[in-house]
Amino acid sequence: MKERIERLKKLTYIPQKEIAWLIEQAELSVKQQEIIEENKRQQEVTVHQFRQAQKDIQQLSGDRKRYKQALEKIITNLNFAIQVAQNELEGATK
């Protein structure tokens, strides 16, 4: 391709066939640039989605930890209430 371009630069008259080739190459270049830009846009969207997913995971992990701690407190309180009730029952039956 470089050789063909160099040869065209040296010509004073460019044949129709060569002009068609140049137009074709220019159109291909435009299409390639559009594809590159679309790929960059998609990459930016993917990066944004990934970062948002990371934030969501961190938030969910924090929520999970808080729920687990709350559940452990509830279980501890229930165990204490059960023990108190058992002690009262034992005291009432004696």
Ranges of each domain in the chain: 2-93
Other Cβ atoms less than 10 A from the Cβ of 13: the count is 5
Confidence of residue 94 (pLDDT cuts 50, 70, 90): low
Token code pair at residue 34: 């559009």
The structure's pTM equals 0.55
pLDDT in tens, 49-89: 999 999 999 999 999 999 999 999 999 999 999 999 999 88
Instruction: Record the tokens describing residue 46, joined without a space.
Output: 């993917």
pLDDT, averaged across the chain: 90
Identify the band that residue 13 occupies on the pLDDT scale cut at 50, 70 and 90: confident
Query: Which residue blocks in the chain are alpha helix, DSSP H?
Result: 2-10, 16-93
